[in-house]
Amino acid sequence: MNTHEEKWTAWLDGQLTGKELEQFEASLPDISAAELEKQDSHKLSALLKEQITAPSMTNVEFFHHQLRTEIARESRPALKPARETQASWWSIGRLAWTGAASLAIAMVCTFFVMRDDNIGGQSTYTQNVLNARIGPEVNSYATISMFETKEDKVTVLWVEGLQSLPSEYAAK
């Protein structure tokens, strides 16, 4: 034992024996005063053991006590382990890769949707009708006129002098 307080406590509890006990009692300035203090310490210890005991609880009180401690434990904010607070699924790297992949998908979709050559122009069917040469055997006075508005995206073909269009120009 190193310190005087540790030796004093061991002497009060009766744990010192033999040579240690003799050396410790020799180091005390007044052995009779120390013996009186030892007896007082034992009396105080016995009194405290007798008077201070845990209150006995009935079954109902014990149950309520358990419920209150459980509620108090659950109402405290849960502490996350250090690993969970540091790493999350949406890290900066994953966020950047997700954004790049979204832009690539948008560009691919735009390419496939916008790859038609006649965007905003005339349809193939309209081109065929306008380029058609109406032979004299059908009607020599037949005319085709086209009226177009870009803002409304409407094209009107006005065919005059024909009873019907030739079969090769039927609606597709």
| pLDDT score, position 123 | 66
**pLDDT, tens only, 121-140:** 666 666 666 665 555 555 56
Rounded to an integer, what distance in angstroms lies between the CA atom of residue 9 and that of residue 3?
A: 10
Phi/psi at 39 (5° precision): -65, -40
Q: Please, where are the H alpha helices in the chain?
A: 4-12, 18-27, 31-51, 59-75, 82-86, 92-113, 124-131
The whole-angstrom separation of Cα 36 and Cα 42 is 10
pLDDT of residue 121: 62
Overall pTM surpassing 0.85 (yes/no): no
CA angle 142, 164, 120 (to 5 degrees): 80
Backbone torsions φ then ψ of 151, nearest 5 degrees: -70, -30
- Evaluate whether 155 touches 122 at the Cβ level (below 8 Å): yes
What does the pLDDT look like over 2-13, one tens digit per residue?
Answer: 688 888 888 888
The residue assigned the tokens 């790297």 is 93
- Per-residue pLDDT, 140: 60
What is the reported pLDDT for 66? 86
Q: Residue 168: its pLDDT value, please?
A: 63
Q: Block means of pLDDT (10 residues each) for the chain, length 172 residues? A: 80 87 87 90 89 75 85 77 60 90 92 66 64 58 71 73 60 50
